[in-house]
């Protein structure tokens, strides 16, 4: 039993050449295939379009058979590319950021690149450079929701950068932005149209802020409708914290008739807090989130939300970055995407 457990826990031995105890090399692989090292290298780096499908399959099959693994340092020296891209993102705790990271990884891996996730935020946010912060050399950077506009500008000698998300950096040559203005305005107007008079906004901002389209729309529409604004400000966006903060807020102030949450994680936690207190969604409290994460559809009263175009954003960001890496002097690539309002049972 001890021997079996040790075998299970012991790290795997490195794969070695069939001829000696050293790792298999590209020279050995080329010899086995009776092809040049240049041909094998191009095929392994997904640049062998000129070769037949049978040849490409044979190269990968023999590479797997002898356990050949490319040396990333040697490959970088030979090609000038590491085939790594850094994803500069604030966290992976919220469902929104986790979904963005997952989709970015899918798109990049499909094109032969690996993702290096570089977290920023809090005290590090104002001092971190996404290019320097990456744990190793990268061919490009996708910076998601860089709120302080501190990204170094793109240039021929600089690492290519594409900025993405609601807080996209307009100082970058290339960006894929998402504009919440129109849809947030529509969402708040529809809440007002339900006849509810006490509509609160759950946000990190304790007062009206021009930094966020959701907050701007909320303040503007309620002002036009003659309704008073009401802000619920949780300590942070962790679900357990929001849940507790909602309990405390309602105990102190009673419950609003509707709550427009900054993001879906807050909306999900608020839904649970309202249920804890015996309040029904949407009969007692209408609930609206933002982001469009999948979880929001799986509640007894599915949560209304502003659905962001995740897939289109990630695909476009990769396309922009790919072109910038290949053509450093290409014209600026800039697009603003529009989200959609997903009006569901939680808002009646």
The pLDDT tens digits for 323-332 are 999 999 999 9
Strands 340-342 and 305-307: antiparallel
127: three-class secondary structure by DSSP: coil
CATH value of 181-289 in 3.40.50.2300, 3.40.190.10, 3.20.20.70, 3.40.50.720: 3.40.50.2300
Residues 276, 282, 288, CA angle at the centre, nearest 5°? 95
Residue 237's pLDDT is 86
**Given pLDDT bands bounded at 50, 70 and 90, which one contains residue 277?**
very high
Q: Above 50 in pLDDT, residue 15?
A: no
174: three-class secondary structure by DSSP: strand
**Residue indicated by tokens 């050995």:** 28
Residue 137's pLDDT is 75
Superfamily of domain 2-79: lambda repressor-like DNA-binding domains (1.10.260.40)
Q: Above 60 in pLDDT, residue 150?
A: no
**Given pLDDT bands bounded at 50, 70 and 90, which one contains residue 162?**
very high
Pick the more confident residue, 63 or 1.
63
- Average of per-residue pLDDT across 93-109: 90
Give the fold, CATH level 3, of 84-179+309-339. Answer: Rossmann fold (3.40.50)
Distance CA 56, CA 63 (A): 11
Pick the more confident residue, 228 or 114.
228
Residue 64's pLDDT is 79
Residue 122's pLDDT is 46
**Mean pLDDT of all residues belonging to the chain:** 83
Q: Return the CA Rg of the chain.
A: 26
Q: Above 90 in pLDDT, residue 267?
A: yes
Distance CA 236, CA 171 (A): 29
The pLDDT tens digits for 55-78 are 888 888 888 788 776 655 555 545
Residue 38's pLDDT is 77
- Average of per-residue pLDDT across 260-272: 97
Distance CA 55, CA 343 (A): 52
Pick the more confident residue, 257 or 39.
257
Which of these, 54, 291, 318, 46, lies nearest to 174 by C-alpha position?
318
**What percent of the chain has pLDDT above 90?**
51
Whether 246 contacts 232, CB under 8 Å: yes
Pick the more confident residue, 134 or 212.
212
**Given pLDDT bands bounded at 50, 70 and 90, which one contains residue 191?**
very high
Q: Looking at the chain, which residues constitute the CATH 3.40.50.2300 domain(s)?
A: 84-179+309-339, 181-289
Q: Above 60 in pLDDT, residue 4?
A: no
């Amino acid at each position: 039993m001890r021997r079996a457990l040790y075998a299970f826990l012991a790290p795997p031995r490195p794969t070695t050449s069939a001829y000696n105890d050293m790792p298999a090399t590209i020279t050995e692989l080329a010899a086995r295939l009776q092809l040049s090292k240049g041909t094998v290298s191009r095929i392994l780096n997904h640049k062998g379009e000129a070769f037949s499908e049978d040849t490409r399959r044979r190269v990968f099959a023999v590479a797997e058979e002898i356990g050949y693994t490319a040396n990333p340092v040697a490959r970088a020296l030979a090609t000038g590319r590491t085939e790594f891209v850094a994803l500069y993102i604030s966290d992976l705790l919220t469902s929104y950021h986790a979904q963005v990271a997952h989709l970015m990884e899918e798109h990049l891996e499909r094109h032969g690149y690996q993702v290096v996730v570089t977290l920023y935020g809090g005290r590090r946010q104002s001092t971190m450079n996404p290019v320097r912060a990456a744990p190793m050399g990268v061919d490009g950077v996708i910076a998601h929701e860089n709120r302080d506009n501190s990204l170094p500008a793109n240039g021929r000698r600089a690492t290519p950068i594409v900025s993405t998300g609601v807080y996209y950096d307009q100082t970058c040559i290339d960006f894929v932005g998402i504009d919440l203005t129109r849809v947030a305005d529509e969402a708040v107007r529809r809440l007002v149209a339900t006849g509810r008079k006490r509509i609160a906004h759950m946000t990190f901002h304790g007062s009206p802020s021009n930094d966020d389209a959701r907050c701007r729309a909320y303040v503007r529409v309620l002002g036009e409708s003659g309704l008073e604004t009401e802000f619920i400000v949780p300590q942070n966006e962790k679900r357990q914290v929001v849940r507790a903060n909602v309990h405390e807020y309602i105990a102190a102030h009673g419950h609003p008739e509707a709550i427009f949450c900054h993001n879906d994680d807050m909306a999900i936690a608020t839904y649970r807090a309202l249920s804890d207190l015996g309040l029904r969604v949407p009969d007692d409290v209408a609930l609206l989130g933002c982001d469009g994460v999948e979880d929001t559809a799986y509640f007894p009263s599915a949560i209304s939300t502003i659905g962001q175009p995740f897939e289109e954003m990630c695909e476009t960001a990769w396309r922009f970055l790919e072109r910038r890496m290949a053509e450093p002097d290409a014209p600026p690539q800039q697009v603003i995407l529009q989200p959609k309002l997903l009006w569901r049972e939680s808002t009646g």
